[in-house]
Structure formats: structure tokens, C-alpha cells
């Protein structure tokens, strides 16, 4: 049965095609109306990602725009399925869109990058080709949307759409903080009738047949490797694989460092050009009364232009499959006692609070980068109050929750209510950070706690029960669409990779020029929809060297943007 014409949910004109979540929800509803099996769509998407990756790798590419990659994967899925149903002419791909594959400022496709890391020859250079041959790669033109172009020159500037915020239940509203429960959503499943199963099976065979066969030379090399592995034995083979994997990671990180260096130099050139066109101080925001100077010498930069210290981080979730050991946990009995005394609320089996002072960790969260990185510095720098620790519960080698409580290495026989209140305050502090991590923030736990210490000195901290309300709202949002939440977090990490070198270049300028340069950098993304994201990232990076100034500037910039939005909304 074809979709109804008057069904507004199936009207492509009502969908912003550049928005990944909205586009795929439209496709999901459309396929359901055509009685297409969900498992088939997943299989088609997996094969489409492989085809797209092989095509791009054959061009010598290693990184492409994430929106470009995901958009053309969707085009391929659509055409494969509808062509098999003999309905492609009646239901063509509904949009015409051109995206610059080389514009990495909008985010890098992690799917394509992972494919390259798994399939590219370890001996290939940073610009080398893939291990598959070019002649075996099918032409992508047969999968492209009408009017699409592969050339970056034909691309248009894109404005990132605003994803509609999910309806917050009464249990997650700030005005009703006593009830934090979040009802879990039942998974849905759509099965195709028997009449369509034959078509589905036929498409599965077609997808399998489209898998690229290895070149003869590659086949010989693989057989030689298998023979060699058999001869050396499993132990030596495992050691060789570990060395090879480490070499691949090192080469990949070196390539990322090269990209970061190039972005840093390009931003430095832009700043020099801007300064040559202007005379005197650049216009900027007025200083607030509480933005005290944290340092001497406004003519000295925060960072040295000779040593930018560009932080290159691993790909999002690169180590998520590595096992994690469970540390000694704060005792449940004492946590329950403190909870009943100073929180006076129960812990629920659903939602982010899984036990007293214990918060759930999504499976996709980048634990090694966000939490485990420099974790020992939390205790060494005394970023939490004395005798209070953070630990994590591990299930099947994966951290599933974050626990805060009294240090289990110390005796806590005394019932000191003041200490219990400190436990609650520190828990609120960590909960506020975790809410940001739920929403895709790339700020590490140790960096946040360092910044919190500076803010607390100026009485600017946000240590309150509102942290839990913020946490529950974020949890409710990510559990509605975990895949979208995961992709948003990946995209945020990609933006960090691209924007950190640019912000570091600005921080290498005289300090009295930093605010105005950062403001201009933020406004560059106004028509792409990234202005608020850029503002938050600029604060996070600047706060690592000047916390109070960064937060003060962010506060004034946010107020300025709010006034601008209000003026634009007036008739």
C-alpha cells in the first residue's frame, strides 16, 4: 500500500533534508508505509556504508564531511530498497542537495574513518590508497539523488537545522524536582507480511552480490598472511597484531596532528590578515565588574605561538571496547544512610539515578577520554572534598555507572552531618558535568572539576539540586533516540578536533585582543547554526588557561545573543 498523499508526516517538503534525525525518521515512516522489514533496512544501511566507504577510499580520501557521507548513504539505502520493490520511479529520492565533502568544519564522518582504519593497508602512507582496487569500485552516480553533484565547487552553504526538543514529562520539569522518574519507552518492531518476504530476500542477495571482491594480488597477500600466521603460532600472531594495531593508531594520530597544525597555521594567517586591515584595538564586549585579572601583563599571550600545545584527542569511543577494571567502591550501606539523611529521596530502577549517589553511563559514552583521562589528578590536585572519591561499577568489562561517596579506604564510623552534606554537594557537581556529557559535551571530568574550583573561589559555582533536574532532562533526551545521541556526541568531538587549533591560534594573540577575536570567530558560524556551540567550545578551551575570564566572556556573549534573537523575533 502506497503512502497516503495527505499524510503530512510523509511529506518531504515538511522535512529539512540536511537534518540527520528528521531525514531518517521520514525514511523510517515511509518504509513502514511500504511494509518494508526493519531488519532489511539495517542490512541495506550496513552495505550502503561499505559501498560509500569503498567509493570514497578509491578516490584517495581518508576524511569527508559527516553530513555528506550520511546523506549519500541514505540515498543509496532508499534507491536499493525501492528499486527492488519496483517502485523507484513512483517514489524517487525526494530531495536535491549538494554538500561539500571536503568541508570538515561541520564534522568528520567517523563511520568512514573507522572503515579506513580497518581496511586500509598498514603500509600505505597518509595519502595512500586503499587495499581494494579502483576498478572493482561501482560508480556512485547510480545511487545519487537527482541533481546531486560530487564536486565541492557546486556545494552550497548549509545552515544546520534546529532539532525539535522532545516534550519534557512532568517528572523532568524544573518546577517538579521531587519526582525524577522517567518512564522507559517500549521498543517498537515492524514486520513485513509474507508477500513481501520474497522481495526482501531478493534484495539481501543483491546486497551481498554488490560486495566488492578482492583483487587477485590482494587475495594472494591475504593467503600468505594466513600461512605465516599459522606457522608462527597464536601467541606470536597476537603480539604481531598488537604491534600492528599500535602502529596504525600512531600513524592515525600523527595524521590528526598534521591536520591540527595546518588548521592552526591557517587561523594564524587569518588573524594576521585581519590585523593588517585594522588599526587600533579590535571592537569587543565591555568588561564586567567581576572579571578580575587572573594574571599580569595583558600584552603576553595565554599560549606561546612557538608552542601552541594543540591537544589532539583520540577518535570518539576509540577505546570503548577495551576492558576496564572496577576500583574499590564506596560502601552501599553508608551511601544509603547518607542518602536517606541529606537527600531523602529513593533511587529508581529507571532513569539516570540507579542507586544512592550512583549515575548511569550510556554504553556509547567515551569513558576513557572523558573520565579516565588524567583521573589520578582528581585526587592529587584535591579537586573533590577530602575523603570523597569517584568510582565506577563494571559489568562485563564495561563501566555502567559512576559512583560518588566516602572513600572506602578510610573509616567513617562517625556520623558527621557536615561531611554527609559535602558528599551530596560533590555528587551534584559531578551530576552537572555528566548531564553535559549526556548531551555530547567533550569537556573532560578532570577539566570541569579544575574549572569548578576556580569558579567556587568567586562564588560562581552551580552546586545545587538543579544539577539533578538538568541531568534527568538530558537522560530523557538521549534515551528517546540513543543512536542520534551517539552521533551528536561524535559530531561534537569532530568539531572539537577542528576548532581547538583555531581557538589556540587566537589564544596566542595579545590578551587584550582575545575577546574580540573569539567573538568574530564565533560569529563566523552564524549562518551555519553553530554559533551557540562555538560559544560553548570557546569557553571550554579558554577556561583551561583563564577560567574566570572565559566564563565572564561567555556570560556577556550569551546575553548579547539573547538580545539579538529577541530583536530578530520582533515584527
Residue 4, pLDDT above cutoff 80: no
Q: Does residue 157 contact residue 95 with C-beta atoms inside 8 Å?
A: no
Total domains in the fold of the chain: 2
pLDDT at 539: 96
pLDDT at 147: 34
pLDDT at 519: 95
Q: Tell me, what DSSP letter sits at residue 160?
A: P
* N-term to C-term CA, the chain: 45
Average pLDDT over residues 224-233: 52
Residue 167, pLDDT above cutoff 80: no
* Cα gap 117→244, rounded to integer Å: 12
pLDDT band at 325 (very low <50, low <70, confident <90, very high): very high
* 272 within domain boundaries: no
* Cα gap 512→517, rounded to integer Å: 10
108-117, 338-347, 399-408, 441-450: lowest mean pLDDT where?
338-347
Query: What are the angstrom distances between the C-alpha of 188 and each of 28, 32, 38, 185, 191?
Result: 12, 12, 10, 9, 10
Residue 13, pLDDT above cutoff 60: yes
How large a percentage of the chain has pLDDT more than 70? 71
Q: Does residue 97 contact residue 23 with C-beta atoms inside 8 Å?
A: no
Residue 245, pLDDT above cutoff 50: yes
pLDDT at 529: 74
Residue 190, pLDDT above cutoff 60: no
* Cα gap 527→534, rounded to integer Å: 12
260-274, 343-357, 379-393: lowest mean pLDDT where?
343-357
pLDDT at 144: 37
- Domain holding 343, by residue range, is 332-569
Q: Name the residue with cell 591557517.
A: 266
* 270 within domain boundaries: no
pLDDT at 88: 82
Verify that 341 and 196 share a domain, yes or no.
Answer: no
Query: What are the angstrom distances between the C-alpha of 116 and each of 50, 112, 113, 409?
Result: 10, 6, 5, 46
* 123 within domain boundaries: yes
Query: What are the angstrom distances between the C-alpha of 171 and each of 264, 434, 476?
Result: 46, 19, 10
pLDDT at 288: 38
pLDDT at 553: 96
Q: How many CB atoms lie within 10 A of CB 175?
A: 6
pLDDT tens for 448-472 read 999 999 888 877 666 677 888 899 9
pLDDT at 335: 93
Higher model confidence: residue 156 or residue 437?
Answer: 437
Higher model confidence: residue 125 or residue 526?
Answer: 526
Higher model confidence: residue 1 or residue 22?
Answer: 22
pLDDT at 388: 95
pLDDT tens for 89-112 read 888 899 988 888 888 777 788 889
* 421 within domain boundaries: yes
* 127 within domain boundaries: yes
* 249 within domain boundaries: no
Q: Does residue 430 contact residue 445 with C-beta atoms inside 8 Å?
A: yes
Verify that 196 and 342 share a domain, yes or no.
Answer: no
Residue 516, pLDDT above cutoff 60: yes
**Sign of the dihedral defined by the CA atoms of residues 25, 26, 32, 35, in that order:** negative
pLDDT at 400: 96
Helices and strands, counts by H and E, the chain = 17, 4
Residue 506, pLDDT above cutoff 90: yes
6-10, 206-210, 491-495: lowest mean pLDDT where?
206-210
Residue 126, pLDDT above cutoff 70: no
Average pLDDT over residues 378-407: 95
* Cα gap 564→305, rounded to integer Å: 34
Q: Tell me, what DSSP letter sits at residue 543?
A: T
pLDDT at 81: 87
Query: What are the angstrom distances between the C-alpha of 291 and each of 46, 126, 301, 351?
Result: 52, 45, 17, 38
Higher model confidence: residue 281 or residue 329?
Answer: 329
How large a percentage of the chain has pLDDT more than 90? 37
79-83, 276-280, 508-512: lowest mean pLDDT where?
276-280
CA angle 262, 264, 269 (to 5 degrees): 95
Beta strands in 352-425 (DSSP E): 353-355, 358-360, 388-395, 398-406
Instruction: Kindly state the cell numbers that stand for 208.
Output: 551481498
Average pLDDT over residues 50-54: 90
Instruction: Indicate the average pLDDT of the chain.
Output: 77
* 291 within domain boundaries: no
Predicted TM-score (pTM) of the model is 0.61
Average pLDDT over residues 55-80: 89
pLDDT band at 132 (very low <50, low <70, confident <90, very high): very low
Higher model confidence: residue 129 or residue 279?
Answer: 279
153-162, 290-299, 517-526: lowest mean pLDDT where?
153-162
Per-residue HEC secondary structure of 129-158 comes to CCCCCHHHCCCHHHHCCCCCCCCHHHCCCC
pLDDT at 249: 83
* 321 within domain boundaries: no
Question: Best-predicted range by mean pLDDT among 447-461, 485-499, 522-536?
Answer: 485-499
Higher model confidence: residue 526 or residue 274?
Answer: 274
Strand partners, 403: 358, 391
* Cα gap 222→121, rounded to integer Å: 11
Per-residue HEC secondary structure of 249-281 comes to HHHHHHHHHHHHHHHHHHHHHHHHHHHHHCCCC
* Residue spans of alpha helices (H) in 339-391: 367, 376-380
pLDDT tens for 269-324 read 999 988 887 654 444 544 433 344 444 455 688 988 766 667 789 999 999 989 89
pLDDT at 127: 40
Average pLDDT over residues 336-353: 80
Higher model confidence: residue 390 or residue 568?
Answer: 390
Verify that 387 and 523 share a domain, yes or no.
Answer: yes
Verify that 536 and 392 share a domain, yes or no.
Answer: yes
Query: What are the angstrom distances between the C-alpha of 285 and each of 296, 460, 515?
Result: 20, 20, 7
Amino acid at each position: 500500500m502506497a503512502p497516503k498523499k495527505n499524510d503530512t508526516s510523509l511529506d518531504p517538503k515538511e522535512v529539512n533534508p540536511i537534518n540527520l534525525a528528521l531525514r531518517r525518521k521520514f525514511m523510517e515512516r515511509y518504509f513502514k508505509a511500504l511494509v518494508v522489514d526493519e531488519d532489511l533496512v539495517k542490512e541495506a544501511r550496513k552495505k550502503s556504508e561499505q559501498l560509500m566507504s569503498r567509493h570514497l577510499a578509491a578516490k584517495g580520501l581518508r576524511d569527508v564531511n559527516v553530513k555528506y557521507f550520511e546523506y549519500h548513504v541514505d540515498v543509496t539505502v532508499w534507491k536499493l530498497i525501492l528499486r527492488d520493490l519496483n517502485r523507484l520511479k513512483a517514489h524517487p529520492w525526494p530531495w536535491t542537495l549538494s554538500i561539500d565533502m571536503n568541508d570538515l568544519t561541520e564534522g568528520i564522518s567517523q563511520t568512514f574513518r573507522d572503515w579506513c582504519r580497518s581496511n586500509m593497508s598498514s603500509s600505505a602512507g597518509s595519502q595512500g590508497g586503499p587495499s581494494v582496487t579502483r576498478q572493482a569500485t561501482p560508480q556512485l552516480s547510480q545511487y545519487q539523488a537527482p541533481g546531486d553533484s560530487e564536486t565541492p565547487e557546486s556545494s552550497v552553504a548549509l545552515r544546520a537545522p534546529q532539532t525539535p526538543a522532545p516534550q519534557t514529562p512532568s517528572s523532568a520539569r524544573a518546577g517538579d524536582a521531587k519526582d525524577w522518574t522517567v518512564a522507559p519507552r517500549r521498543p517498537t518492531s515492524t514486520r513485513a507480511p509474507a508477500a513481501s518476504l520474497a522481495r526482501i530476500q531478493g534484495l539481501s542477495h543483491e546486497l551481498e552480490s554488490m560486495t566488492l571482491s578482492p583483487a587477485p594480488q590482494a587475495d594472494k597477500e591475504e593467503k600468505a598472511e594466513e600461512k605465516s600466521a599459522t606457522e608462527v603460532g597464536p601467541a606470536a600472531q597476537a603480539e604481531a597484531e598488537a604491534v600492528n594495531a599500535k602502529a596504525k593508531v600512531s600513524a592515525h594520530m600523527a595524521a590528526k596532528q598534521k591536520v591540527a597544525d595546518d588548521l592552526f597555521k591557517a587561523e594564524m594567517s587569518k588573524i594576521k590578515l585581519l590585523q593588517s586591515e585594522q588599526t587600533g584595538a579590535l571592537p569587543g564586549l565591555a568588561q564586567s565588574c567581576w572579571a578580575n585579572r587572573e594574571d599580569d601583563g595583558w600584552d603576553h599571550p595565554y599560549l606561546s605561538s612557538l608552542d601552541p600545545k594543540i591537544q589532539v584527542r583520540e577518535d570518539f569511543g576509540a577505546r570503548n571496547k577495551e576492558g576496564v577494571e572496577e576500583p574499590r567502591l564506596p560502601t552501599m550501606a553508608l551511601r544509603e544512610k547518607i542518602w536517606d539523611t541529606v537527600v531523602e529521596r529513593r533511587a529508581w530502577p529507571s532513569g539516570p539515578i540507579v542507586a544512592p549517589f550512583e549515575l548511569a553511563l550510556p554504553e556509547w559514552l567515551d569513558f576513557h577520554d572523558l573520565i579516565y583521562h588524567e583521573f589520578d589528578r582528581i585526587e592529587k590536585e584535591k579537586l573533590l572534598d577530602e575523603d570523597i572519591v569517584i568510582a565506577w561499577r563494571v559489568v562485563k568489562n564495561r563501566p555502567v555507572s559512576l559512583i560518588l561517596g566516602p572513600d572506602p579506604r578510610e573509616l567513617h564510623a562517625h556520623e558527621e552531618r557536615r561531611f554527609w552534606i559535602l558528599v551530596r554537594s560533590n555528587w551534584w557537581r559531578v551530576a552537572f558535568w555528566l548531564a553535559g556529557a549526556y548531551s555530547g559535551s567533550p569537556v573532560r571530568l578532570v577539566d570541569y572539576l579544575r574549572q569548578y574550583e576556580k569558579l567556587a573561589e568567586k562564588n560562581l559555582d552551580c552546586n545545587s539540586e538543579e544539577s539533578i533536574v538538568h541531568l534527568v532532562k538530558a537522560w530523557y533526551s538521549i534515551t528517546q533516540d540513543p543512536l542520534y545521541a551517539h552521533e551528536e556526541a561524535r559530531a561534537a568531538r569532530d568539531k572539537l578536533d577542528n576548532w581547538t587549533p583555531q581557538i589556540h591560534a587566537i589564544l596566542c594573540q595579545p590578551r587584550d585582543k582575545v575577546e574580540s577575536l573569539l567573538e568574530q570567530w564565533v560569529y563566523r558560524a552564524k549562518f551555519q547554526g553553530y554559533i551557540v556551540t562555538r560559544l560553548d567550545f570557546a569557553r571550554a578551551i579558554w577556561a583551561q588557561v583563564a577560567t574566570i575570564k572565559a566564563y565572564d566572556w561567555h556570560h556577556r556573549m550569551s546575553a548579547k545573543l539573547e538580545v539579538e534573537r529577541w530583536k530578530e523575533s520582533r515584527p
